[in-house]
Amino acid sequence: MTASPIPERFKRHALQPEEAQRRLLARVGRLPAETVALSQAWRRRLAEPIAAPHPFPPFRRSGMDGYALRAEDVRAASAGSPVTLEVLETLPGGTAPTRPLGPGQASRIMTGGMLPEGADAVVMLEMTDAMERGGKPFVKINKSVPPGENMAGIGSEIREGELLLEAGRLVGPGEAAVLAACGYAQVSVFRKPKVAVLSTGSELLEPSEPLAPGKIRNSNAPMLEALIREAGAEPVLLGKVPDDADEAEALILRGLEAADLMVTTGGVSVGDYDILVDILARWDGETLFNKIAMRPGSPTTAAVRGGRLLLALSGNPGACFVGFHLFALPALRAMQGVRDPLPFRFPARLAVPFPKVNAFRRYVRARSEIRPDGTVWVAPTGEDQSSLMTTIVDADCLIEIPPLKEGYSAGQPVMAVRLGERS
Amino acid sequence: MTASPIPERFKRHALQPEEAQRRLLARVGRLPAETVALSQAWRRRLAEPIAAPHPFPPFRRSGMDGYALRAEDVRAASAGSPVTLEVLETLPGGTAPTRPLGPGQASRIMTGGMLPEGADAVVMLEMTDAMERGGKPFVKINKSVPPGENMAGIGSEIREGELLLEAGRLVGPGEAAVLAACGYAQVSVFRKPKVAVLSTGSELLEPSEPLAPGKIRNSNAPMLEALIREAGAEPVLLGKVPDDADEAEALILRGLEAADLMVTTGGVSVGDYDILVDILARWDGETLFNKIAMRPGSPTTAAVRGGRLLLALSGNPGACFVGFHLFALPALRAMQGVRDPLPFRFPARLAVPFPKVNAFRRYVRARSEIRPDGTVWVAPTGEDQSSLMTTIVDADCLIEIPPLKEGYSAGQPVMAVRLGERS
């Protein structure tokens, strides 16, 4: 092969977003597990499935405040003709019965209490009258009950060994309750992915710096830091570099060593100062893709070096935001054991016309709304062309607009990608 | 007044949930603000509104890679009759122009670069041909452009002083980007509410303890811990106490001193061992409500003592979960400056019949689904009567079922409460 006269940066082949996601995810492995205390497991993902270690409830539990008894003893009981039973003991929650019931016997029991041997039903307190006879406690039962009434049998809620939580599941309030109930004071979760962030661009200032002519403050790094935390990962902030390929390359190599995913912003277009393009053209890494048939973020680029991933996002805040959701987030989910890590998509209707003609698929930052008739509508949060951060602030989804020769009218059915993390 | 012969615990007046929420929120104040670094502001709520400190963009910014020029100079330009301009300098992003344009002059400019004085438009690179004449750089412009083309004027995205983020807003990725762009390296946020958690019940084991007859592991405390963290608050775990009113009262008083909200679970019914009822009957606090016309969680109780709030939730995990969302979460949102802190409700359709007759409003743990036609449907995650934690794990909403004389059929329009935090 002879060297091509066309510069490498112009020879890009555009992939469909799905193909780019597929290529990226093919290179992502699950991270190792680690054990943490239950209270530290919040917002982590389970490394192992959780099965019920014993049946729930683990004993025959009263569902009422009343008397545990033998249903056959009160078969004929009624308000007019009550049945009198001897009361053996009182069983509040947390107390093991000490005396099995024989014929004609009952025990006072509270909601959640453990039924004594011999009992097979509970009569609620309101259907009874306590009394004493010869200094001993008795109770009049004014109602018959079928066997099993007002009680939960062993395993009636959950059978022993039943799968309760799948591996990869996010630990939220319900999961914490299940883990505690199953005796997991320690939980095996996937290690948090480390994500290094480097911003490139000579125009960037730190948030603390005063404005200067031609400069803007770097808003992508703080945005990515929050997105990375939302994804259950740990940001490693490498700061910013001017448009200098050597300086950037040194930091990228450092980030690839320190992190499971290296994310850069800026420098991926085809301009004279797009240094990521230069770095990828000369280094010994493998480029997975460098052009995607979508807007914004068409020059979004991914590469692998030494088994570590580099995702080079556009410096435009809107494109950076979309690129993170479509590519970084699925990778971080996959590292944490999520079986279907791709973004969650939902059908909706377009609340306003979208008159723009598209040669490529567009991901439009949008807000969803449920109307009184229970239908979901989505409306762009601002002008799609704009790089406004304000269109990111209000967005809770991205409308997918396919390539269009004529625009869409309001009411058009569309698909949208939900933003934010999910279980 | 003479003492009533009816025990206090039976003299409860049931409030509608809205009235109970109103009484509780009337006693909630905003917490003081504190200043944190931007990277620590994630998931905190803003204590002050954020207005644009300067216009965006703060300078006239090129939207293209090309040449900044004076539109009037190229009014007659076309491919067949290009106009040649002298090139003064090159302006990558982040560079302040050093030379204003005079007639017949242009400057090479990159996307995001600052337009020089005199320039009023940008022609994209593809419509130009660079050349040299007498050792000096010139460019042929093959297209006319109107003034303002391919550039963003000062303040064209955001005007100086424009409100960007309201106080009480949750700091997520978009908010972090806006704060950074506005120069907020430090952010004023509301202090995190401290929420003390005490579980009552002689039946409770720690997650680390082996099962014993009549005992169950305490799943409410870990669940509440996660719910409190999700609400942006800080849990203060006081452990568990058996059904002993003196022991519980001492811990509750300690919790009220240490925290902005004290949450207990269990002991709120009318049984013999319902110690919270005893404590509230004898202490010097003020009871806001102790019965709500709803299921589950009708004995949910709230009180105030020394300006601090006590919320006594049911020990049943499902009722505890519902009570937290309806009462604790709005209080925690209000403490953090959220203007409308009540749960977000949305219209949907019932996916399955709900045949049960209700004397009171029911909050049924459920999962929502958007069908291909863009309509929202909700289905209970399990049997409503059950205390199964598994119905909590899968729930993303609570269906509100009003008092019904006949059940609902599938397809019935209903309202549902969305679970989880929102901006």
Using CB atoms within 10 Å of the CB of residue B390, give its burial: 0 to 12 exposed, 13 to 18 middle, 19+ buried: buried
| Alpha-carbon gap, residue A297 to A323, rounded angstroms | 6
Query: Which pLDDT does position B10 carry in this prediction?
Result: 57
The DSSP result for A182-193, as a single string, is TT-SEEEEEPPP
Low-confidence residues of chain A: pLDDT under 70: 1-10, 272, 383-388, 421-423
At B274, which CATH number? 3.40.980.10
For residues A258 and A358, membership in a common domain is answered with no
The closest of B149, B124, B136 to B85, measured between CA atoms, is B136
Query: Which pLDDT does position A132 carry in this prediction?
Result: 96
Beta-carbon contacts of residue B337 (< 8 Å; ≥ 6 apart): B30, B45, B46, B47, B167, B168, B190
Of A112, A184, A207, the CB nearest to B183: A207
Beta-carbon contacts of residue A166 (< 8 Å; ≥ 6 apart): A46, A49, A339
For residues B223 and B304, membership in a common domain is answered with yes
For residues B279 and B166, membership in a common domain is answered with no
Of B91, B208, B388, the CB nearest to A185: B208
For residues B196 and B180, membership in a common domain is answered with no
Query: Which pLDDT does position A94 carry in this prediction?
Result: 94
Closest-approach residue (CA) in chain B for A44? B226
What's the pTM?
0.95
Low-confidence residues of chain B: pLDDT under 50: 1-5, 384-387
Query: Which pLDDT does position A4 carry in this prediction?
Result: 40
The closest of A97, A162, A61, A107 to B216, measured between CA atoms, is A61
B3 is a domain residue: no
CB atoms within 10 A of CB B160: 13
Q: Distance from B80 to chain A by nearest Cα, in Å?
A: 26
A423 is a domain residue: no
For residues B323 and B399, membership in a common domain is answered with no
The two structure tokens encoding residue B320: 């505890």
Of A174, A273, A374, the CB nearest to B389: A174
Start-to-end Cα distance in chain A = 50
At A40, which CATH number? 3.90.105.10
Number of domains in chain A: 4
Of B173, B203, B395, the CB nearest to A223: B173
Beta strands (DSSP E) in B121-171 are 121-124, 128-133, 136-141, 151-152, 163-165
| Alpha-carbon gap, residue B334 to B354, rounded angstroms | 34
For residues A137 and A257, membership in a common domain is answered with no
Q: Are A140 and A129 in contact (CB under 8 A)?
A: yes
Beta-carbon contacts of residue B299 (< 8 Å; ≥ 6 apart): B12, B268, B269, B270, B290, B291, B314
Of A94, A181, A207, the CB nearest to B180: A207
Residue A230 to residue B174, Cβ atoms within 8 A? no
A1 is a domain residue: no
Residue B38 to residue A183, Cβ atoms within 8 A? no
Query: Which pLDDT does position B350 carry in this prediction?
Result: 98
CB atoms within 10 A of CB A107: 28
For residues B241 and B206, membership in a common domain is answered with yes
Beta-carbon contacts of residue B205 (< 8 Å; ≥ 6 apart): B211, B212, B215, B216, B217, B218
Closest-approach residue (CA) in chain A for B394? A174
Residue A171 to residue B223, Cβ atoms within 8 A? no
The closest of B258, B146, B250 to B195, measured between CA atoms, is B258
A400 is a domain residue: yes
Q: Give chain A positions within 8 Å (CB) of B219.
A: 176-178, 180-181
Q: What ranges in A124-239 are assigned the alpha helix state H?
A: 173-181, 220-230
At B350, which CATH number? 2.40.340.10
| Alpha-carbon gap, residue B243 to B59, rounded angstroms | 68
Residue A181 to residue B217, Cβ atoms within 8 A? yes
Residue A222 to residue B386, Cβ atoms within 8 A? no
The two structure tokens encoding residue A393: 């602030």
For residue B380, list its beta bridge partners: B366
CA B394 to chain centre: 20
A146 is a domain residue: yes
Residue A390 to residue B158, Cβ atoms within 8 A? yes
Q: Distance from B272 to chain A by nearest Cα, in Å?
A: 8
B84 is a domain residue: yes
Residue B176 to residue A54, Cβ atoms within 8 A? no
For residues A183 and A44, membership in a common domain is answered with yes
Q: Are A275 and A305 in contact (CB under 8 A)?
A: no
The mean pLDDT of chain A is 93
Q: What ranges in B259-338 are assigned the alpha helix state H?
A: 275-282, 317-323, 329-335
For residues B186 and B203, membership in a common domain is answered with no
Each residue of B305-343: pLDDT tens digit?
Answer: 999 999 999 999 999 999 999 999 999 999 999 999 999
Query: Which pLDDT does position B90 carry in this prediction?
Result: 96
What is the predicted ipTM? 0.94
Domain that holds residue A84: 61-152
Torsion, Cα A138 A142 A143 A148, to 10 degrees, reads -20
Q: Are A105 and A118 in contact (CB under 8 A)?
A: yes
Start-to-end Cα distance in chain B = 50
Pairing of strands B294-295, B361-370: parallel
Closest-approach residue (CA) in chain A for B169? A393
Each residue of B262-292: pLDDT tens digit?
Answer: 999 999 887 767 899 889 999 999 999 999 9
